[in-house]
Structure 1
Amino acid sequence: MRIRTVLTTALLLLGAAASPAVADASPSASPSDDSAAPTSAGTSFRNATEIEQGQQATANASTGDYLYWSFPADAGQRPTVKATVKLPSSARSGTQTWQLDVYDGLRRRQACQYGMQTRTAAQDATSVDLACTLRTVRAWSEPWANDPLPGTYYIRLTVVSLGTGDLGKPVNAEVRVDSKEIGGAAAVDGSLSQPLVPGIALTTQESSDEDKPTLSSLKPDDGWTSGWWSDRWVWTGIGAVLAALAGIGGYALTRGSGRPSRVPPGV
């Protein structure tokens, strides 16, 4: 009976501790209201249009324009950027090659873990789809490394190869960013003092004046994480509890009834 009680307690504790860890591994927050999504794009890093994760932003532009958007990404997230370019219905002189690039807050180009970030549209194609899944954003990294870090990320969409006669023709672009929460599997020991958000230093300085504007105002719904908490702590706690319960169960099995198996004669 005692062993059964120990095992039941262990299973209950395991389920209670694992619940938040399983929740952390689910996809990111619910998408934002698309009715408030931006309908234009910037033309450089400095005036990139801000979008939230889960929004589908649109923009009307001309073939050959550089289109820029920015979005926030926090530690533990693996962002996926998708873009669709709707090409003009009028006849084109040849194929077109479009490219999707993603840069971090330091304007370092980030490699795509997978996805087609460069694709060529046939002469009669009506649209072209692009995608880029980044590596998991880390809370901290070595200064010499090119790892994704928490902060603002920039999307650049443009055509890189086309016929001269197609330059300037109207196109419509759609961009969306979603993230998957990776959790403790990507956790590291350390965190940035501030996320890589352009202009964030202006708001952290103590001043009696009005709040100073930043170059990027978006941030995750739950705020920027400090980087020290992850579901690794949950699984570490589970291991400690199971080890303690195993010790108790082993002791209960081996201690016996407390009396010697054979009693000497005359006792």
Structure 2
Amino acid sequence: MPNHTFHPGNQLMRTVGKLKATAVAGALAGAALVGVGVGTAVADSPSPSPSASTSDVAPTEAGTAFRTAVAVRQGRQATASASSGDYLYWMFPADAGQRPTVTAKVTLPEAASRHGASTWRIDVYDGLRRRQPCMYGMQSVSAAQDAAAVELSCTLRPTVAWADTWSTDPLPGTYYIRLTAVSLPETDRGLPFKAEVEPTVLDTGGAHAVDGKLSTPLGAKSAVEPDGGWASGWWSDRWLWTGAGGLLAALAGIAGYNLTRGRGRPSRVPRGA
């Protein structure tokens, strides 16, 4: 016959075992819920925005109009592959006191596939889409049928912080580069070519500083900012010349005062005279 004798120790061990099993099950269920919660949080969390450093990468394409112009930073080279006859557009920032220069190189299609000479040109426009004249540089270059490449350049006038509304002076803001072939044989349209464009700026200091200032750079929202932000060149050597001039004027006034005072003072009469 089975033994039904009650043993308190056995009952205690069974109770402890049940409690352990319950605790383990609860822990596993809690971990599962935590895992689900974490997974949901990760899934619901927005994906990180692209790093700001992505704008530092040199672009490898170009726009086909002002509205689709590709931004490129000062001192960076942009490249693009296109077909002869296309218009290529880039944009870059220029701040007050900077003199922009744009250089471009066009690697032409193979000479065997071309049927004559071609002429290439770069134009630079400001934020109001006004074409800015070049101070110097080869803005338009003709290439012979057997030429491998052409190089162009355009240096603008120094950018000023403010100008009258009727003036065409270059103002701070976005500048657009347009590159295209203005003349080529009709049978050569559509041939592939490669373009390299690089905008650079030179700080001119206080030589071209003016008293006024634009409230907002022209088209500043559509392009990358200059290094240090807009109006970063508020300090110029004009401040140094102004301070030095004031100091020299003060010294001259003191010297003149002492000289005049010395001449107007009566001479002393020696004692016993």
The reply to whether TM is greater than 0.5 is: yes
In 1, the alpha carbon distance for the partners of 2:128 and 2:160 equals 15
How many Å separate the matches in 2 of 1:154 and 1:35? 18
The 2-side partners of 1:259 and 1:70 are apart by 71
Tell me how far apart the structure 2 counterparts of residues 264 and 33 of structure 1 sit (CA, whole Å): 87
Structure 2 vs 1, CA of residues 242 and 188 (structure 1 numbering), >3 Å: closer, same or farther?
A: same
Matches within 5 A, 1:68-217: 68-91=89-112, 92-197=114-219, 200=221, 216-217=222-223
What letter matches 1:87 in structure 2? L
Task: Look up the match of 1:62.
Answer: 83
Residue in structure 2 matched with residue 51 of structure 1 by the alignment: 72
Q: Distance in 1 between matches of 2:253 and 2:54?
A: 53
Match of 1:240, SS state, is helix
- CA change 1:86–1:228 in 2 (3 A) is closer
- Counterpart of 1:37 in structure 2 is 58
Tell me the distance in 2 between the aligned counterparts of 1:184 and 1:35. 29
Which residue in the other structure is 1:220 paired with?
Answer: 226
CA distance in 2: counterparts of 1:49 and 1:190, whole angstroms? 30
Equivalent residue letter for 1:106: L
Q: Could you tell me how far 1:223 is from its partner in structure 2?
A: 1.1
Deviation at 1:258, TM superposition (A): 11
Match of 2:251 among 222, 239, 245: 245
Query: What displacement does 1:233 show?
Result: 2.2
* SS of equivalent to 1:185: helix
Q: 1:153 to 1:217 in 2, by over 3 A?
A: closer
Normalised by the length of structure 1, the TM-score is 0.75
Residues 34, 226 of structure 1: alpha-carbon distance in 2 compared, 3 angstrom cutoff: closer
TM-score, with length taken from structure 2: 0.74
Q: Which amino acid aligns with 1:47?
A: T
CA RMSD, 1 decimal: 2.6
Which entry has the higher C-alpha Rg, 1 or 2?
2
User: Is the contact made by 2:125 and 2:175 (CA closer than 8 Å) also made in structure 1?
Assistant: yes
Structure 1 unmatched runs, 5+? 1-31, 201-215
State yes or no: 1:231 paired with 2:252. Answer: no
Distance 1:71 1:231, change over 3 A: same
Q: Secondary structure at the match of 1:128?
A: strand
Letter in 2 for 1:55: R
Query: C-alpha distance in 2, partners of 1:223/1:233?
Result: 21
Could you give the per-residue CA deviations for residues 17-51 of structure 1, whole angstroms, max 9, x where no partner exists? xxxxxxxxxxxxxxx99982111111111110100
The alpha carbon displacement at 1:116 in A equals: 1.1
Question: 1:232 is paired with a residue of what secondary structure?
Answer: helix
Task: Give the % identical residues.
Answer: 65
